[in-house]
A and B are shown apart, each in its own frame.
Chain A
Amino acid sequence: MDKINGRALFIILVAGTAFFAVPCAWAASGEPRPKGRAAMPELHGFAEFAHGLKLSDDNTKRDDFNLLEQRLQLKTKYLFEGNGLLARKNSSLNFKGDFTVDEYFSGKTDFELREFNLSTTPYDWFDLKAGRQILTWGTGDYLFVNDLFPKDYVSFFIGRDDEYLKKPSDALKVSFYPSLANVDFVVSKFEPNTMPEGDRVSFFDSFQGGIAGRNSDRDLLEPPLQPSHLEYALRTYRNLRSHELAFYYFRGLDKNPAGYNDEVARRLFYPRLDVYGTSLRGPAFGGIGNIEFGYYNSREDPDGDNRLIANSIFKVLTGYEKDLGNDFKIGLQYLYEQTVDYDNYSANLLPADFVFDESRHLLTQRITKLYKNQTIAVSLFNFYSPSSKDGYVRPTISYNISDQWKAALGANLPWGEDDLTEFGQMKRNKNVYVRFKYSF
């Protein structure tokens, strides 16, 4: 207990320093500055406490909780001023970092650099962002077809803020704006998705023959950093009146360990993957509709006859969101996934292999209602797959006590008949969580 208090004190001290720094920064920015001297960057961020109690038993490190942490996020932006080259090119340096104390791992302190990049406009028609950054595109809500940027599904399942579903990329992003269409091109270092590994979140481990916790001893083989492992992502998009049309291309590696490198050594790897896709989004039937296609080409298993590497797959996602008035919104999505060359896959399975389905239907629904001048948000997000017979319910209530203080209460309730489906394997990770946040 003393240890926890000590760490809490540390967090409060750092947060306190930040709070004092902020008014100073504001005061400084409000005063007319002497010419040539750059503005003192403003410091913003939040301090947060989060606790998630477990509702189901499994074989992970702790039985009673899977989330207990304190977090301090600091962010700042430095705008180049004066007559230098960077100033003339509308440049900024952006920083965002999280200090955490994670009681799940006995008070392990950590620092995660979420953003540290230089953003600049060398020419009117050309933007550039270099460094660590969060990248997102596509039309889905919690579902991603052409967004192959890294995600953190552990954060998602234990009840951290949505912000943490997206992992940062070390990347160079260039954007061009010719009259015909806009183009984004990203070159990035490979960063895998953060997936359950059994220490905190249990999951289906085929080597263990079922849902595994600490007994999981898989070895995930990350590719060494070399030019051939760089990833490329391209998006070209334009507006067609009120609708947005986009085309996507990705060349890199699967973000999940979708291939067996060595079954005996229980070693998995991230096979090469190309994705081609397109999307359309805009007004439809009195709301916003979207449709997105993606073809995942498994380059190391082009014919689908290698039982150790995931097959190519085709995905289509459609969605619809409508505002029903009185701060009440509803969103619906349907995702269909079809494995390509399934016959080759099933013909090459060994008798002891687990058999995955050829296709999957997934429905989602989001209901959001705001109360009390939008200070209270009640939301229910529901995943349901009739083909996998599994689902995931995410209810949340959040209350903006003031402009600074926010409290959130929520639950993560994955369920499923089988142990090897996407949500069924998560069914022993059910939790209820609270978060308190002070923003500055």
Chain B
Amino acid sequence: MIKLLGMVFIGLCVIQPMSFAQDSPKPEEIIAKSRLAFYYAADDMKVKILMELVDKDGRKRIRELTMLRKDDQNGGQPSFAEASKGRQKYFIYFHQPADVKDMTFMVYKYPDKDADRWLFIPAIDLVKRIAANDKFSSFVGSDFTYEDVSGRNPDEDAHTFLRKDQLDGRDCFVVESTPKQVSEYAKRISWIDITNFLPLKEEFYDKQNELYRQFEAGEIQVIDGIPTITKRVVKNLKSGHWTEVSFAEIKYNLGIEDDIFSERYLRRPPVQWIK
């Protein structure tokens, strides 16, 4: 009898964490996996991005750019918590509008310090270093912040699991994140797809607990076996301005050379990658 009770007890101990893992995993884990799926898919990536910036009167502006991304290969297999804030390099070439055509922009992202950013202005052959301490600055006038483009370190927020939910028929984890230090938002609520961990929706609340900004994934495609958000919208609910971003010509694991992310190619955009 005692033996049987003992087995049941051991069984409970084993089962309990397993079922916990299945039903409601740790919120830190959900967010880390979500960052990995959203910002770190494959080792590198090339994409042509079309941004439509629309003001409350419906006036539209266009930003068309090619983005290259490469993750730093540290060797070995870091834990996903480590990988979800790992070093990355970004290279951006602007196709449109005409007044920024041929400009290039480069970012080195680090887990534990401000990113390094460079902008090249071809008309004056100038490589400019951009101060990058404000992560909430708008990216090229859109409703996306720099942080939206390259990802926020999951450690900068405290995460709480709220519930499971359904969004357009998809099962989601709903996680609340509150910044550990003063930030643009006071609270973020994320709907994260249970199967592929992509963020389907994010709501940003200000100090008055008012919803002021909202992210929504519009379309998901599987590309080279990787679920990828190919359309997304960010709305600024206070100004009525919104931005839709479409990804096209997505390619993963191209073997982009590390030296592409350098002043040399900032000044001479690499034709083979940006065409």
Contact = CB atoms under 8 A, between A and B. Distances in A.
Interface residues on B, range: 35 or more
B133 A286 contact: yes
B153 interface: no
Contact of A440 (B61, B98, B271): B98
A179 B173 CA distance: 48
Interface in B43-95: 53, 55, 59, 61-62
Interface stretch (B32-40, B124-132, B164-172, B192-200): B124-132
Contacts of A79: 271
A321 B241 CA distance: 29
A162 B128 CA distance: 14
B236 to A, nearest CB: 9
Interface in B94-125: 96-99, 101, 108, 113-114, 116, 123-125
Interface residues of A, number: 50
A286 B133 CA distance: 6
Contacts of A322: 131, 133
Interface string B119-162: 00001111101111110111011110000000000000000000
Interface in A130-183: 133-137, 162-163, 165-166, 175, 177, 182
A282 interface: yes
A175 B265 CA distance: 12
Contacts of A329: 131
A439 interface: yes
B137 A327 contact: yes
Contacts of B114: 283, 286
Contacts, number: 101
B264 A177 contact: yes
Given A282-B129, A373-B141, A406 B99 contact: yes
A374 B138 contact: yes
A127 B264 contact: yes
Given A242-B116, A288-B130, A323-B131, A403 B137 contact: no
A281 B271 contact: no
B268 interface: yes
Interface in A396-420: 400, 402-404, 406
A162 B129 CA distance: 18
Contacts of A406: 99
Contacts of A440: 98
Given A134-B123, A136-B124, A403-B62, A323 B138 contact: no
A375 B57 CA distance: 15
B53 A373 contact: yes
B133 A287 contact: yes
A127 B98 contact: no
A324 interface: yes
Contacts of A182: 263-264
Given A286-B133, A323-B137, A324-B134, A403 B96 contact: yes
Contacts of A321: 129, 131
Nearest to A406: B99
10 contacts: A46-B99, A119-B268, A136-B125, A283-B114, A287-B133, A323-B134, A373-B143, A373-B241, A400-B61, A406-B99
